[in-house]
Amino acid sequence: MSKQFALTFIILLFFSVTAIPTLPDLSKKEDLRALGIGKIVEKDGSIITKINLEEVNDNGIVYKKDESLHDIAIGDIRKIEFLKTPWGSLEIIFIDGKPKINLLYVIH
């Protein structure tokens, strides 16, 4: 009985360590709000800090800075970084016009 318990424990431990973390859904307003404050790094090297992401669409993003809404084309963005989210630190990059989320590290 103890060997079976130990084997079950090891299997459960393996799956808990190797579980794939969920990522934010960029089409959901609540996930965008949960990202918190981030920064946009543009392809020309400019950095826009203290932004809240409001919308991600096929043409670009809409963000809030200083209580005003702004937009920027996807083609102008190198990455968008959020360092303190429920998912851990992450960045959003755009490949062929589609957003891709990369976890920088995970908060446990």
Instruction: Give the separation between CA 37 and CA 12, rounded to whole angstroms.
Output: 35
- For residues 35-42, give the mean pLDDT: 98
Does 60 map to a domain? yes
Is the per-residue pLDDT at 101 higher than 80? yes
For the whole model, what pTM was predicted? 0.78
Structural domains in the chain (count)? 1
Q: Which domain holds residue 59?
A: 24-105
Q: How confident is the model at residue 13 (pLDDT cuts 50, 70, 90)?
A: low
Predicted pLDDT of residue 4: 73
Q: How far, in Å, CA of 43 to CA of 79, rounded? A: 8
Q: Over range 73-100, report the average pLDDT.
A: 96
Whether residue 92 lies inside any domain: the answer is yes
Domain presence at residue 65: yes
pLDDT value for 16 = 52
- Residue 78 domain flag: yes
pLDDT band at 105 (very low <50, low <70, confident <90, very high): confident
d(CA 62, CA 57): 8
Lowest mean pLDDT among 14-18, 64-68, 72-76, 91-95: 14-18
Asked if residue 100 is part of any domain, the answer here is yes
Amino acid at 20: I
* Residue 79 resides in a domain: yes
Are 61 and 51 within 8 A, CB to CB? no
